[in-house]
Amino acid sequence: MKKYIFYLPVLLLLLSACGKDFLNLTPPSVISPGTFFKTPEDAITAVNGCYESLALNSQYGNTFQILMEARADNFTDQDPSSNAGQNYQINRYSDNPGNTNFYNTWVGVYNGIFRCNTLLAAIDGIKMDEQLKNRIKAEARFIRALDYFNLVRLWGGVPVLTTVVDPVNAVNQKRDDVATAYKLIEEDLTFAIANLPNTYPANELGRITAGAAKGLLGKVYLYEKKYANAQTVLQEVIDSKVFSLLPNVADVFNTGNKYNAEIVFAVRYAKGVANQDHGFWYANSQVITVDTTLTKAYDANDLRKPLVDPVKPTGNANIMPRKFLDQPVNGNAGNDFPVLRFADILLMQAEVLNELGYAANGNAFTYLNNVRTRAGLAALTAMALPDQASFRAEIYRQRRLELPFECDRWFDLVRTNRAISEVFANKKVTLPAFRLLYPIPQQEIDIMGFAQNPGY
């Protein structure tokens, strides 16, 4: 929190670095809040800075893959020495509050929230078109909602901040409960849905749409087990016809086909542009491997199986899943990170409908089979899945096969109460129940006096 509270000059430096183009960074300069927020262009620059926070190494650029996937069972880290063994410890459930991955992510996400809060506090002072103003607010509130959704899934109760907190009052901040965070998340996404367009012109591709806000709200409701609410908003995404499954699943991740019809929301990158590209995801030299339990879970004719095969980019010693293969420029890649895909929307809706009540010939089967048949698998009927429990198991299986390495697996295991059993079955490692949440970073304990999560 200390680093977050004192980030105002750094924040404004970063905001000034984000030009009108979505990720077009220009040389930064220090700007004060009172002089910066004057024109509609300033507001656009500021919200671009909110988007940019998601792309940083402390979030989707790197560390999220460690906290959200390495914790699960889709790959195995065999390197106990690199980064002082900290990634390995997360993979093997021996991490401690001093692990720098935790502090970097905590500070990085709260920096993103700070950017959003700074914009939201200042934008009403700008004379500008009200529809554009509300759209910019909605973009910032979506990003803030996503930030808090990630925080509560990683740590449970966290400080819920909707204003910029000055250093004097920073020491009074406490951890709010999870319900408080979810209340704000729902409010932010509801506002976003009401004020975002369904589509953008081609030169604005990548900005948040109403469909993305509905999709994320549906996922939030699913985690809260508010199935009826989830069913409503997810169906609106499906019925909008804005998004669709690509006929060939491999095309979804083709770097020449970025932000295609299946992408509901992605964090954008640009290969070969300084500060807009990223290192290779899930890559190392033979020491981070796709777990064999994942590769064996695919049927032989499943078209998604090649996407998890380990491959090596040209002129690079690292190996990574084919899903995120990109030929390097200056040693870096430029894939977008898919935060929410239409295949995920369909699987969530199938799950929600089944939880509301199993139906042998209902839409849940339709949406499940949309994903299965695109993968080259036969459609399933009530003969194969005769009840709610068997249908639920198939949904869980398809989520693992469809979404590996997209930062869903660990959270899926936790929310469905399967983490301990699946980790033991697949990784042959005992997962203590208290490790379903991460420890609050030790630096925050020392500075703020927060209560630590039990067990650490």
**C-alpha R_g of the chain:** 21
CA distances to 202, 231, 440 from 451, in Å: 47, 36, 8
Model's pTM, two decimal places? Answer: 0.92
Residues 51 and 165 occupy one common structural domain: yes
How many Å apart are CA 335 and CA 349, to the nearest integer? Answer: 27
pLDDT at 33: 58
Residues 187 and 314 occupy one common structural domain: no
Helix runs in 28-99, H state only: 33-36, 40-54, 63-65, 86-91
How many Å apart are CA 283 and CA 108, to the nearest integer? Answer: 22
| 174: in domain | yes
> Cβ(15)–Cβ(30) under 8 Å?
no
For the record, the structure tokens of 370 come out as 């949309």
Which positions ≥6 away from 303 have C-beta within 8 Å?
248, 249, 250, 374, 375, 376
Which amino acid makes up residue 262? E
pLDDT at 318: 82
Which residues span the domain enclosing 155?
Answer: 1-196+417-456
| 175: in domain | yes
pLDDT at 34: 58
How many Å apart are CA 224 and CA 141, to the nearest integer? Answer: 19
Residues 179 and 69 occupy one common structural domain: yes
Q: What are phi and psi of 242, to 5 degrees?
A: -75, -35
pLDDT at 35: 62
| 97: in domain | yes
Helix, strand, coil percent values for the chain (each to nearest 5): 55, 5, 40
| 139: in domain | yes
Residues 298 and 433 occupy one common structural domain: no
Q: Kindly give the parts of the chain with pLDDT less than 70.
A: 1-35, 167-168, 286
Last residue of a domain, one of 298, 331, 364: 331
Residues 48 and 176 occupy one common structural domain: yes
Last residue of a domain, one of 277, 299, 331: 331
How many Å apart are CA 453 and CA 240, to the nearest integer? Answer: 42
> Cβ(435)–Cβ(455) under 8 Å?
yes
pLDDT at 30: 40
| 350: in domain | no
| 179: in domain | yes
| 357: in domain | no
How many Å apart are CA 438 and CA 436, to the nearest integer? Answer: 7
Residues 40 and 189 occupy one common structural domain: yes
CATH number at residue 181: 1.25.40.390
pLDDT at 286: 67
Structural domains counted in the chain: 2
Residues 421 and 327 occupy one common structural domain: no
| 116: in domain | yes
pLDDT at 25: 32
For the record, the structure tokens of 144 come out as 């803030």
pLDDT digits (tens, 9 = 90+) for 240-282: 999 999 999 999 999 999 999 999 999 999 999 988 999 999 9
Beta strands 310-311; 337-341: pairing state = unpaired
pLDDT at 169: 72
DSSP 153: H
Residues 2 and 151 occupy one common structural domain: yes
Last residue of a domain, one of 271, 303, 331: 331
Residues 178 and 35 occupy one common structural domain: yes
> Cβ(333)–Cβ(277) under 8 Å?
yes
Which positions ≥6 away from 393 have C-beta within 8 Å?
none
pLDDT at 168: 67
pLDDT digits (tens, 9 = 90+) for 127-162: 999 999 999 999 999 999 999 999 999 999 999 999
Which amino acid makes up residue 349? Q
Residues 108 and 8 occupy one common structural domain: yes
Residues 177 and 60 occupy one common structural domain: yes
Residues 192 and 295 occupy one common structural domain: no
- The beta strand positions in 329-402, using DSSP E, are 337-341
> Cβ(146)–Cβ(339) under 8 Å?
yes
